Chains A and B, each alone.
Chain A
Amino acid sequence: GQQLNQSPQSMFIQEGEDVSMNCTSSSIFNTWLWYKQDPGEGPVLLIALYKAGELTSNGRLTAQFGITRKDSFLNISASIPSDVGIYFCAGLYSGGGADGLTFGKGTHLIIQP
């Protein structure tokens, strides 16, 4: 099946720092999504990308759909304590129907005050 490599696995940063994480795939996707999961809750959609090269922002978050369709990155600027959580990339290749999202293993973001 499709594999997503997400890095880094965890990040320990100071409040106010910028954060960058990325995902790479062995196969192409035509949709890339970024989710955040808080403890005890389900993942919540942050940003959706539908075209190769697309760059999309949501407040302090910016994500890009790689030109090769095999990678994506997420940046968070000026991190704040509520950014703590697990961030997941997810890819979808739908050839006429939903095949289900494939998720990366997640990036644990820990912010030290």
Chain B
Amino acid sequence: DAGVIQSPRHEVTEMGQEVTLRCKPISGHDYLFWYRQTMMRGLELLIYFNNNVPIDDSGMPEDRFSAKMPNASFSTLKIQPSEPRDSAVYFCASSLRSNYGYTFGSGTRLTVV
């Protein structure tokens, strides 16, 4: 099993540009989570999906953030327009069941200049 796969690993973009982060969960996992990690706030849950349906997006900071899961093997997190305060490491994680430990991807380090 290749684990949770995220791309790109690093993204540097200019303020105002659109950014799209991608995630492929582990096959057979019904839950997919997007987290953001910063020094100040630690790991924060942004949104999660169950069977491709968004369940809780209360952690999404603003309307500039959106996430989709068109099928069981792919999800995107989009920021439009991006701002310097969006700079962080974004993690995708998947889980077989609701109370199982999550498997995290290696993350996307986003820098907005």
A binding-site residues for B, Cβ under 8 Å = 30-31, 33, 35, 40-45, 48, 50, 88, 92, 94, 97-106
Contact of A94 among B4, B99, B101, B105 (CB under 8 A): B99
Q: Determine whether the beta carbon of B48 is less than 8 Å from that of A100.
A: yes
How many residue pairs, one in A and one in B, have C-beta atoms under 8 Å apart? 55
Provide the main secondary structure of the chain A interface: loop
Whether the pair A99, B56 counts as a contact (CB closer than 8 A) is yes
Contact in complex: B98, A101 (CB < 8 Å): no
- Residue B75 lies at the interface, judged by CB distance under 8 Å to chain A: no
Residue tally, chain B, CB below 8 Å to A: 24
CA A45 to CA B48, docked complex, whole Å: 19
**In the complex, what residues of A have CB within 8 A of residue B113's CB?**
none
| B74-107 Cβ-contact flags toward A at 8 Å (1 or 0) | 0000000000000000010101001111111111
Given contact pairs A97-B55, A98-B95, A98-B98, A44 touches B42 in the complex (Cβ within 8 A): no
Are B101 and A103 within 8 A (Cβ)? no
Residue of A nearest to B101 (CB): A45
